[in-house]
A and B are shown apart, each in its own frame.
Chain A
């Protein structure tokens, strides 16, 4: 399988604060990666560097072989189209109803017809189990429903990869399941995914590979079985013992 995303010597600093240090990794097409680790370890910053919501301080991010840094805004926009992103706080557009949220980017960026966009949006809503909510406004939906709409919105651009930034952290516990279910279905359909998460159950069950991050670098990676059963580094052992007890 070819590398879809390649990270080379990636570093990121905010002022004097070095958040990411010399990361070299790659994501293959169809892979599901779960990035786990303690708070403040740089997981979210790492994920946001992948579609350059944060500009890397050093190093490169390549998508399908094309660098995401040092290119024009329109070139970056073209690459971002192919990288869907789901945020912790959903970030639905409150000035639009559900179906308009989903149709906006296909209409404005891909310039497809309204009929086609509507058709596609309805299919996606069906897929995330919210076909009856098309005309509602985001603020009238529950957190779990909003996050499912956000996933549908990202999928509407037919991305090559989906980036999830702690998608269930802002949800009430009873709504976590419905979102994870949608994500699991997505993984099973063959979508390439990079998921920053605290849901160990999900990571164990769905991930092809676990990346364990601490202190701004990836300390350890492996299949869920080996990582959860026999973590090699002391940091990982420490982390797992804390969250599993």
Chain B
């Protein structure tokens, strides 16, 4: 028995390891042709980086804007396809590119030698300086790199700035966060003393917040590292060539400085004028919609699968039992965040067209199933064996016994525990925001980017989550009361 279980674990581990590598890369470079065939260019970006990329509201609709977006639009037009923006964490962009979730990355990304090992870059289309954002009250203390001795510096994880601080400010602690907005909140609450940022972005934050200031601390920068380039899959030379052609034309007409940056600036001013949260209620509404979709669908599948796993676990077949136990233990023993990323990037590498929303729902459902299975098992085991015996002695099959006798009674016993699991699911589903599902958490980040306000969107989001969970608790309590009467 023990041996059997161990064996199963090994199999599951091996499967987990193999799946991401089963994708066979196209032998010849038909990347450009593929994009043309499907008619859309899927572009990954991290839209909290004005003026490169951020969101703005136009006629009540959320749009991705910024100079990178303008370039992407132009490129899509040049190769004659539609543009589709996939917004995600900066850290996730390269993984998404490697797993072919996206065709290209444009996110103010610097073509560093490290990145070049896994990404094919276009020419540099824009060069900005590396600045530092500080609190205005510290302006007298901090001017150059050496002034920051012993201070904590913030930088976006996976970014060029993060490596710069690591390499050139060895005496400092680096605080890495995924979102610039969170870094700015950390700066304002003095968790960090400065945030390393690209020039244009830093200036945008300073312009929108009177208490912040931009300085040039004088990083020693290799010219090839400061520029921004478009990233493609390794080997996608046809796309790189096409992109370089577009970049040449953009440069020839000086479109970035003459057209794209002014347009971005206009959007940024428009955003900063609409700082009242009331202007962003549609953002929150969309977030609530997606959070509810994910929760409801995951509750349904989590429950169905959970019941299945519970019955498997109670099975007399050692193999089936072992399979269920392995699954439950494995899922409960790994973080939901890792599972979400694994389904999206790992399984998504095999099934290319797997949308983030579906990946998120699959991961959350599978996760929930493991917990629900244990709740249901405990419920089933709480039913006295006399119930089964009475049912079987009447000639009812095991299946009928479960369906009419055991499950209805077990459900009543476990209702509070199940309810608790569903409430938890509303909250835990927030993790899917890391793969770019537009749930409430994700929308909150968009509002943060758009308004340059850190804390208020968090507070509003918190209240909304509470109202949803509290409402659900009340509904569940009502049904629990009803069941007691029966």
Interfacial residues, chain A to chain B (CB-CB below 8 A): 51, 53, 73-74, 77-78, 80-85, 87, 89, 91-95, 104-105, 108-109, 137, 150, 153-154, 157, 163
Contact = CB atoms under 8 A, between A and B. Distances in A.
Given A93-B387, A108-B404, A53 B392 contact: yes
Contact of B389 (A53, A81, A157): A53
A74 B395 CA distance: 9
25 contacts: A73-B397, A77-B392, A77-B397, A80-B395, A81-B394, A82-B395, A84-B393, A85-B389, A85-B393, A87-B389, A89-B384, A91-B387, A91-B390, A92-B390, A93-B391, A93-B405, A93-B409, A95-B412, A105-B394, A108-B404, A109-B400, A154-B393, A154-B394, A157-B394, A157-B395
Given A87-B386, A91-B386, A91-B390, A81 B404 contact: no
A77 B390 contact: no
Given A85-B390, A104-B394, A108-B404, 6 more contacts: A51-B393, A74-B397, A84-B393, A87-B389, A91-B390, A157-B395
A146 B23 CA distance: 64
Contacts of B486: 95, 137
A78 B395 contact: yes
B482 to A, nearest CB: 13
A142 B397 CA distance: 29
Interface residues of B, number: 20
Given A53-B389, A89-B386, A109-B400, A153 B405 contact: no
Interface of B: 384, 386-387, 389-398, 400, 404-405, 408-409, 412, 486
Nearest to A163: B393
A77 B399 CA distance: 12
Given A87-B386, A91-B389, A105 B395 contact: yes
A218 to B, nearest CB: 23
A80 B401 CA distance: 14
Nearest to B407: A95
A109 B395 contact: yes
A47 B27 CA distance: 72
A82 B394 CA distance: 8
Contacts of A92: 390
A87 B390 contact: yes
A108 B392 CA distance: 12
**Most central of A74, A87, A94, A150 by chain B CB within 10 Å:** A94
B398 A95 contact: no
Contacts of A91: 384, 386-387, 389-390
A82 B395 CA distance: 8
A111 B412 CA distance: 27
B390 A95 contact: no
A87 B398 CA distance: 19
Given A80-B392, A84-B393, A108-B404, A73 B412 contact: no
B393 A53 contact: yes
Given A53-B389, A89-B386, A95 B408 contact: yes
Contacts of A89: 384, 386
B386 A80 contact: no
Nearest to A92: B390
B390 A93 contact: yes
**Most central of B391, B404, B408, B412 by chain A CB within 10 Å:** B404
Nearest to B410: A95
B387 A73 contact: no
Nearest to A93: B405
B162 to A, nearest CB: 59
A82 B387 CA distance: 19
A109 B389 contact: no
A82 B392 CA distance: 12
